[in-house]
Structures are given as structure tokens and as C-alpha cells.
Amino acid sequence: MKSIYLPGIIAMAAIVVASNILVQFLFGQWLTWGAFTYPLAFLVTDVMNRVYGVAAARRVVFVGFLVGVACSFVGTKIMLQGDGFTYPAVTLRIAIGSGLAFLTAQMLDVSIFDRLRGGAWWRAPLASTLIGSTLDTAIFFTIAFSGALTFIEPMNDVSWAGEMLPLLGAGPMAPLWVSLGVADWMVKLSLALLALVPFRIIVGKLSAQTT
């Protein structure tokens, strides 16, 4: 593995682990803290893709996935205490959902970016991140919190996520986890636009170093 990939791999693994922990904590009523950290994974992937190519991006995604998931499964064995309860730092369902969502969405992101790399500089990172983020959100929240998949981890009580509430407090009735997923998705779309600025800056600096 080339040393130039290490910063991307380390950043990717750190983002996955941090997001798996933070997604268990609410920010306000409809968001989790993980919504603000996880979208950075797409920024890392797109920067690697633009500067070093599609093969490098796939290596970073795959190695980052392995390291991140391994650390997440270790997190399932680490018990935390709070409010009189003992709970794992990362639940098994979150680890599985995160791993599957991450690998599927990131690989799709890499492919879409590669197809669009010849267009305007912003088109590939924006389109690939928007599509990848949508798929990622759907896969992760369904596996992590849907009541239909409790067989994955029967001892993990996620009944709180199935509470029927108006969607985002104003729409039709839906499970809480659906509102969390929609809010998460909206944040990802917003951050996809904001990430174009650091993407442009980082790519410019790395490209100058490689020439």
C-alpha cells in the first residue's frame, strides 16, 4: 500500500468509527450527531478519486472499510454507562448497517465520480455524493433501526426507534427512525454542497504536490 494513501485510509477509518458511535446520540429531535461526521467519508473518497484515480479511491474505501468495521465490532464489546444503563459503544446492528451501507454507497460513489470526471470540476463530486448519500442513508437506517430486522440482534431494544410520530414533526405518521433517516439525508445533501469548497482546495494542493 503506497504511503500516499495512508492519510485517506486513516481519515476514512476514523470517520466510520466516530460516526458509528455518534449515531446513537440525538442532536435535537430528528438528527443524530453522526449526521455531521459521516458525510466527510464522501469528501475523502472524492479527493482520492480526483487526485490519484479510481483504483486508489477503491483501495482507500476498501481498506478504510475493513479497519473501520473491525474497530466498530471491537466497540460492540466495549460497554458504556449512562443514566443508570449499561450499553455497548457500538451495537451489532449499527456495525452491520454501517459496514454494508458504507461499502455499497462508497463504491457507487467511486463509479459515478469516475464516469463524470471529465465534466465540470464540481459535477462529479456533487452527483456522486448525492446519489451515494441517498443509498447509504436508506441502507443504514433500515438495518440499524427497523423493527422488521430485530432478528439481527434480538437483545438490542430499538423499540424507541419504532415509535409512530408525524414525519419530522409535521408530515404523515411514520416510525421515528424514518424521520431520523430523512433528517440525516437532508443534512448529507446540504454538506455535499458545502464540501465542494474544501474539495476544491484540497484537490488543488494535492495536485500541486504530485506534479
Higher pLDDT, 38 or 173: 173
pLDDT number for residue 133: 92
User: Are 117 and 50 a contacting pair, CB within 8 Å?
Assistant: yes
Find the domain containing 170 and state its range: 3-210
Q: Say whether pLDDT at 205 is over 60.
A: yes
> Quick count: other Cβ atoms within 10 Å of Cβ 147?
11
* Grid cell listed for 49: 478519486
The percentage of the chain sitting over the pLDDT mark of 90, rounded to a whole number, equals 36
* Grid cell listed for 121: 470540476
Q: Could you give the CA distance from residue 41 to residue 66 in angstroms, rounded to a whole number?
A: 14
Q: Could you give the CA distance from residue 143 to residue 97 in angstroms, rounded to a whole number?
A: 5
Q: Say whether pLDDT at 175 is over 70.
A: yes
Q: What is the mean pLDDT of residues 179-198?
A: 91
Let me know how long the chain is.
211
Q: Could you give the CA distance from residue 63 to residue 60 in angstroms, rounded to a whole number?
A: 5
- 3-class secondary structure, 186: helix
Mean residue pLDDT across the chain: 85
* Grid cell listed for 66: 475493513
Q: What is the mean pLDDT of residues 149-157?
A: 86
* Res. 85 pLDDT band, cuts 50 70 90: low
CA atoms within a 13 Å half-sphere pointing along the CA-CB vector of 135:
18
Q: Say whether pLDDT at 1 is over 70.
A: no
Q: At what angle do helices 54-75 and 92-116 cross, to 10 degrees?
A: 170
pLDDT number for residue 83: 64
Residue 53, sorted as left (phi over 0), alpha (psi -120 to 50) or beta, turns out to be left
pLDDT number for residue 11: 84
Q: Say whether pLDDT at 167 is over 80.
A: yes
pLDDT number for residue 44: 92
Q: Say whether pLDDT at 127 is over 90.
A: yes
* Res. 47 pLDDT band, cuts 50 70 90: very high
Lowest mean pLDDT of 16-20, 165-169, 181-185, 192-196, name the range.
Answer: 16-20
Query: Structurally, how many domains does the chain consist of?
Result: 1
Angle formed at CA 18 by CA 137 and CA 20, multiple of 5 degrees: 45
* Res. 186 pLDDT band, cuts 50 70 90: very high
Q: Could you give the CA distance from residue 149 to residue 128 in angstroms, rounded to a whole number?
A: 29
Q: What is the CATH number of the domain that holds 136?
A: 1.10.1760
Q: Say whether pLDDT at 161 is over 60.
A: yes
Q: Say whether pLDDT at 90 is over 80.
A: no
pLDDT number for residue 17: 76
